[in-house]
Chain A
Amino acid sequence: MAAVVVARPALRPTPRARDEEVLVWPDLVFVEFVSALLFTVALFFLSFAMNAPLLDEANANVTNDPAKAPWYLLNLQELLLHMNPALAGIIVPTVWLILLGAFPYFDQSTAGQGRWFADANSIRNTVVSFIVGFFGTLALILWNSGKVALWLKDWFGISGGGQLAFLERSAALKDPSVVPWPDWASSIPYLWFNLKILDEGPGAGVTTFQKIDLPTLLVDIGIPAGFMVGLTCLLVYALWRIGWVLSRRDALITLMSGFVGVFLMLTIIGTAFRGPGQDLIWPWDLRTLEGIPGQE
């Protein structure tokens, strides 16, 4: 009599999802507990070793020089030195935060999620964009603070001077001796009435919206905004042309890594390299100033 053969599946050909799972207690809870413990101990040691800074009592009549914001805002404070305050302090961070929030709506593919640097080009895009952002920002700061021009003059005897002063710092473009601005350029009417809104307090004056100061607009808003948007687009375009940026995810990686580079450089310069009068100085000349943890 033929044996009854019962068809059985092979020994579980594909592992079930559950086989890949571990129990939260103890596997995850243990890791969480240890990391919390490590941080508690490390912060205790730090707190024993280093006191929180406390300077003299607040005095509105004695100005701190340089007066610095908390370190995570020093990147914005650094930007303020180079452009219109509204652009640097409000528009740039607001636009960036909105862009950041919009990331997942721009890149809707689910490919490569849950793994570090899953895409083929992601590591080199990250590294290159970070380096471009980091050192590009340094170059722009040095250029706009006149340091590059100073070194060129000191070391090589090359001086733009006169008509070429705008190559040393963009603010020189406002100077009538560099660019022969006609008189009308600094007050071009664009509204046929003088709009006055939200008159706020002494010194603030009336915000008027009737005329444009073209040289100021160009130097304080046009050039910086052009650089920020233009260089970003140029970076993404260049990486696309050489075939590194192939997807929206790649473009976002370029954008984010470039941002991290810029953010880091601005924070470092603002924290450690800005002295009295917000002049560029070396960090070791800064030692008596506030804002450095432990300095009291």
Chain B
Amino acid sequence: MALEQPAQPTLGDRIYDKLFHNYLWRSIFRTGYPNTPRNQMLVVATNVFLHLHPTRIHRTHVKITHTYCLGGLTFFMFLGLTVTGILLMFYYVPSVDRAYLDIQNIQTNVQFGQLMRNMHRWMAHAMVILVFLHMLRVFYTGAYKPPREFNWVVGVVLLVLTFLLSFTGYLLPWDQLAFWAITVGTNIAGSAPVLGPKTKFWLLGGFEVGPDALIRFYTLHVIGLPLLAAIFMAVHFWRIRRDGGLARPL
């Protein structure tokens, strides 16, 4: 009886082998293509971005109606806002003389500038709405209950940071809408008992919205608050893992 010989590798197999089994590729990706359970778990465990996730998850949590991806989408908006925000920063100078002209310039002279500005604006609104809906989802599924109490508190802090991020960005176009919205907003802050006027002065760098307010809001918007939000997000995501993943019936 003749022994069965293995089939000769086809051209496709050879090309695939050259592309994905070479020295360079393997130095970057430690695992094979994730088409076996072992590789699928390894790819999640060994990738710095994916390893926010566990390798396995309870089947109820991949049901779209359980979370509607609201928390993840909020984070995705944050990432998208970072990307579009960096692109806008290339053209925008936060001075009273230039801010408004720069926005006009972005809209008219910069390729895809109007699109980037629109994306940044609508993503910001979407993030506020999504973070609010995410809070409602967590509340109505009772996911704040022990042992996730503290992560709920971190979430409340992130809700406030989201509002502040959006609010500080609102002034930057330096148009009438921005100017008067921030005037109204900081007047609200200024009405606080005892510390109000001081808070308003500290926010604006003066008694009314002007050049100092613009640079303060800009600094808070592009570095101060995003850094703070990133730190709290790191804690938020870490605690989800530490507290046993998503809440589910005990």
Contacts and interface: CB of A to CB of B under 8 A. Distances in A.
On whether the two chains bind one another, the answer is yes
Contacts, number: 258
Interface string A245-269: 0000100110010001000000000
A43 B126 contact: yes
Nearest to B150: A104
B167 A58 contact: no
Contact of A18 (B34, B56, B163, B175): B56
Interface residues of A, number: 86
Nearest to B69: A35
B100 A58 contact: yes
Given A54-B104, A204-B197, A90 B189 contact: yes
A72 B128 contact: yes
Nearest to A67: B180
Interface residues of B, number: 94
Interface string B52-82: 0111111111101010010011001100100
Q: Decide if the interface of chain B is mainly helix, strand, loop or mixed.
A: helix
A274 B163 CA distance: 22
Given A60-B209, A85-B188, A101-B152, A40 B139 contact: no
A110 B34 contact: no
B249 interface: yes
A28 B119 contact: no
Given A85-B191, A90-B196, A113-B247, A25 B44 contact: yes
A24 interface: yes
A76 B248 contact: no
B118 interface: yes
Given A21-B58, A36-B76, A60-B179, 18 more contacts: A23-B37, A32-B69, A55-B175, A56-B175, A64-B180, A68-B184, A70-B167, A73-B163, A73-B184, A76-B188, A90-B192, A112-B142, A113-B249, A116-B66, A116-B140, A126-B140, A198-B195, A293-B125
